Amino acid sequence: MDIIDIRILDILDIVFVALLLYYVYKLVRGTAAVNIFIGIVVIYLVWLLTRLLQMELLSSVLGEFIGVGVFALIVVFQQEIRKFLLMVGSTNFTHNGRFFRNLRFSRDETESRTNIDAIVNACQSMGESLTGALMVIQRNNKLDFVKTTGDKMKIELNQPIIESVFFKNSTLHDGAMIIEENKITATRVILPVSNDRSIPLRFGLRHRAAVGITEKTDALALVVSEETGQTSFIKDGQFVMFETMEELREKLKEDLSR
């Protein structure tokens, strides 16, 4: 096909496929699934090459593998597919232009509006007093489906408010706190609990709830243990390791600025 014969629709087709692959990569980046994703892309490119070179036998073998592999991918990427569909169905397309920022290929990160210092300082203070806490920070996926299980709020985020909500004698301390941008939008929220058996037994319902909500959405979760005072950071259903509260602060800034 001559370059002159390329239509506008052909260019749009290539752009949309590139955007789709980019979004899928963003969903699996940082997880074990990213290696599977890269492997699939490599096999597909090899298949295209064998077809171009008219290597019929190898091309047919790879073609059959790709055809059957689609069903296996649905099982392997079940969690990521769920996140992708939830993101498409629940993303606010106009709010701060965040959806369109995520479509960009460049890594032009913007400063988060969330008061990260208040969150981290509250976690440190509550850890020292062995006050249990569970905070969920919304990113792209809306959390309305869990907010309805708790008490809706609209309070500006700051350290004293966070600590007062999770104070042991407070009527709001049970359940999770939902944070959107720089607002506390719900408290006493009931989250879906993960059934992942690989979670160590020393972690209780707060940690399982944090894993559960981050498995189903792209939200970030912070848990303060009332037994040890240790703060846990959960993202994509996985515990993110950090050594100091300053390192946690930087990780939150990085994830919330994307």
Could you tell me whether strands 151-156 and 183-189 are parallel, antiparallel, or unpaired per DSSP bridges?
antiparallel
What global pTM score does this model have? 0.65
Of 90, 30, 10, whose CA–CA distance to 240 is shortest?
30
Q: Which range, 4-13, 116-125, 191-200, 248-257, has the best average confidence (pLDDT)?
A: 116-125
pLDDT at 26 exceeding the cut of 50: yes
pLDDT digits (tens, 9 = 90+) for 50-72: 888 888 888 888 877 777 666 76
Element (H, E) at 206: helix 205-216
Least confident of 7-11, 119-123, 228-232: 7-11
pLDDT at 150 exceeding the cut of 50: yes
pLDDT given at position 51: 85
Neighbouring CB atoms inside 10 A of 150's CB total 20
- Residue predicted with more confidence, 93 or 84: 84
pLDDT at 36 exceeding the cut of 50: yes
What is the CA angle 180-182-187, rounded to 5?
55
Cβ neighbours for 211, distance < 8 A, ≥ 6 positions apart: 194, 196, 199, 221, 234, 237, 238
Q: Is 149 exposed, middle or buried (0-12, 13-18, 19+ CB in 10 A)?
A: middle
Whole-number Å distance between alpha carbons of 25 and 32: 12
Beta carbons of 115 and 248 less than 8 angstroms apart = no
